[in-house]
Every structure is written in C-alpha cells, then in structure tokens.
Amino acid sequence: MSEEATSQNKKNRSEQWDFIYKVLTTIGVIVGAVWGLMQYFETKNSELEEKKRNYEMARFRERKETLYPLCNAAADIVTSKSLKDAQKAIKSFATLYYGEVNIIAEGEVAEAIKTFADELIDYQNQEQDTPPPFDLILQSGNLGTVCKKVLNLENIYGMGSNPNPVRKK
C-alpha cells in the first residue's frame, strides 16, 4: 500500500470515529433529555398527589369537626328518656343542621341527615314525655354509619381505620 492510501485509510477511520462520537453524543443528549423530562413529570405528579392528599385531609378534618358533634347530638336525642329531656340535644342538632353541616354535607351524608331530621320533626310533634320512637333510633344509627364511612382515613392515606383492631398478645 502506498503512503497516500494509508493516509486516506486513516482519514476514513478518523471520520468514522468522529461520526460514531457524534451519534453517541446525540443519543446521550436525547437520553438525558428524556430522563430529565421523566424526572420532571414524576416530581410534578408527586407534588400533585401530595396536594391532593393535603386537600383531602383538610376536608376530613372539616367534616370530622362538624359531623362528630352532629352524630353526638343525634345520639343524645335518641338516648334521652323523653322529648322533654332531649330539648338541649335537639337544639344542638338543629344549630349544626341549619349551620355548619348544611355547608359541608353532600351525598349520602346529606341524605342521612335529612332523613334523621325529618324523623326528628315527627318526634317533636309528640307529647313531652314520649320516648324516642324506633324509626328515629334507626335513623340515628344510619347517620352514624354513613358518617363513619365518610370519615374513613383509608380514602385519604390508605391507613385504614379499623374500629376493632386485632391486638397481638
């Protein structure tokens, strides 16, 4: 081989390596950009999920602070010996029902509260010494069950809220 052919061969190899280097650099830049985008979207998704959990937790607290006293008032009404004994609890229930609860209640909770309130109105038309009727007691239980379902932390953090945990001995 002549010196010119050897020089041309080296030049071709140099151009091939230069081309390979450029291709690999381009692939590296593309992979880096894709990786960066994946990290960006993963971070944004995590931030969105965190905001959603924070919002749901705030809603949980708001509901808890309102529904617990409402359910307690309903329980006080149905465990009273008579309509006369239930007056304070009825006032408490009515204040919550026409106030805070009316703002946050929705769906099943609103329906259960209204059903209990309707039964309560029927009860208030009775004599003062009348004990709570069975339908009112039944609706109080239903109200508690629906509120328990809404206040389930499983829906927010996947923590579960088993009211009867099994304890290991």
DSSP secondary structure string for all residues of 26-80: HHHHHHHHHHHHHHHHHHHHHHHHHHHHHHHHHHHHHHHHHHHHHHHHHHHHHTS
Predicted TM-score of the model (pTM): 0.67
Cα(127)–Cα(54) distance, rounded to whole angstroms? 48
Pick from 98, 108, 102: nearest CA to 148: 108
pLDDT tens digits, 91-134:
999 999 999 888 888 899 999 999 999 999 999 999 999 999 99
Two tokens, residue 144: 């508690």
Write out pLDDT tens, residues 126-157: 999 999 999 999 999 999 999 998 888 776 66
Q: Show the CA angle centred on residue 64, arms to residues 72 and 87, nearest 5°.
A: 25
Q: pLDDT per residue over 26-70, tens digit each?
A: 999 999 999 999 999 999 999 999 998 888 888 888 889 999 999
Instruction: List the domain boundaries for the chain.
Output: 3-157
In terms of phi and psi (left: phi > 0; alpha: psi -120 to 50; beta: otherwise), the region of 158 is: left
Its sign, for the CA torsion 75, 81, 82, 84, is negative
